[in-house]
Amino acid sequence: MNSLRGILRGGGSSCGPFLKLADPGVMEIVGLAGFGHAVIDMEHGPLGVETAQNLVRAAELRGVAAMIRVHANEDAAILRALDLGAQGVHVPHIDSAAAAERALRACRFHPDGSRGVCRFVRAAEYTHVPKAEHFARSNDRVVPVLHIEGVAGIDALPAILDVDGHGVIFLGPYDLSQSCGVPGEVHHPDVVARMRRAVDLARSRRVAVGTFVDTVEDGRRWLELGVQYVCVSVDVGIFYDACVALVRGLQAQGFPERTKA
């Protein structure tokens, strides 16, 4: 399987959902459906480290690039996610060059960073992979995804892009809409204009850009504008929408509405 980093470096694109559900079967379905990546959400969701590790295993089984969104820009959180074998980490609320540098250094071993060293982890196949190979392979494969989620981050983007070692600059439309004073209005002209300027700037520096979308149409629009890494919806929302569609379809055929207890 080609690594996600290789796909993005080659100018390719990838799409996949965020996951909050703990069952590895959900990750397998994501792969069987044909998604390229999935983001295990340890910021907003209830998932713990042991659960995340099993989701990473399921991703590898079905050819999905497993990413983990950590809860904060903290070395220990990033380290644990990568030690599980994730191909990359989503790091929230990057709003300065210093914050970007901290996240990027935490993602890689010396000489590219300061990631904590331990071979007795799944990422090193529990010491099966020789030390030098593990360090070099990890540095080459890892995809740091830096979330730019507010006006301050957008304004600091030129300086953020000056820091070496980028994987993906990820534009978070919902948090950005709140920062712009229009919470939830991800299609508001101010939000869209800031995002488009950020896409153009990152692409001019040859840095891949990502974002979150709710619909296929929004995904198509951002892909056409040069976004390579698209996260589309969330497993719980996808399941809810499918259930609602089924229930309404059945009711349209004469099935009764649920009787409330």
Catalytic residue among 37, 44, 71, 90: 44
Phi then psi for residue 6, to 5 deg, are -65, -40
44 part of the active site? yes
Question: Annotated active-site positions, please?
Answer: 44
